Every structure is written in C-alpha cells, then in structure tokens.
Amino acid sequence: MISSRIDESEPVLNLRKLFYDTKEIENINATTELVPNKGKYDNFKLLTDIQNVLKKCSHLSDKDRLNYCNTQRYFMKLYLREMNKSK
C-alpha cells in the first residue's frame, strides 16, 4: 500500500512554492499598477494624433474638420475623467 504524506505541512509548502513565486507576485502587482495608466496614455496619444491631423491636413473639408474636432472633444473628456479619477 502506498502511503500518502499529504497531511504533513512539508509537501504543501513545496507545492505552494511552485504556484506562488514571489517574483511572479511582484510582476503581477507591477502590471496591475500600469493598466490604469495605459488608458490615460492611449487617450492622450489619440488626442495628439487628432491634433496633428487637424494641423497638417489642409485638404480636409469643413465637415471633416468638424468630425475630427468632435472626436477630439470625446477623447479629451475621457482623458480628463481618467486624470480626475487618479487624484
């Protein structure tokens, strides 16, 4: 008959080391801190891209410019909401 030593604390500790490595926990914590900042960065990047299009593209019609301005306004609101949440 094969005896099992599951009741002992040593095998459990060995398994815990396999699944819960301290380096991995630190990496997960660092990644979760970066995720909210990514949204802020993405919105800001879109704002700057739209601004560059408005500045550099002289061939846009008035209707196109209005659409770009409305889109820029939308992303500005999202960016400001994210900035206010972080404070």
Place of tokens 């206010």: 84
Rounded CA gap, 66 and 46, in Å? 16
In a domain, 4, yes or no: no
Q: What are the structure tokens assigned to 70, written together?
A: 């409305």
Q: Which residues contact 65 (CB under 8 A, 6 or more apart)?
A: 54
Instruction: Answer for the pair 76, 50: CB distance below 8 angstroms, yes or no.
Output: no
**1 in any annotated domain:** no
Q: Show the domain range for 29.
A: 9-86
Helix-then-strand count for the chain, H and E:
3, 0
pLDDT in 10s for each residue of the chain, 87 residues = 555 555 555 555 555 555 655 566 666 666 655 556 677 788 888 889 989 989 998 888 999 999 999 999 998 988 888 888 866
Count up the domains in the chain and report the number: 1
Q: Has residue 48 been placed in a domain?
A: yes
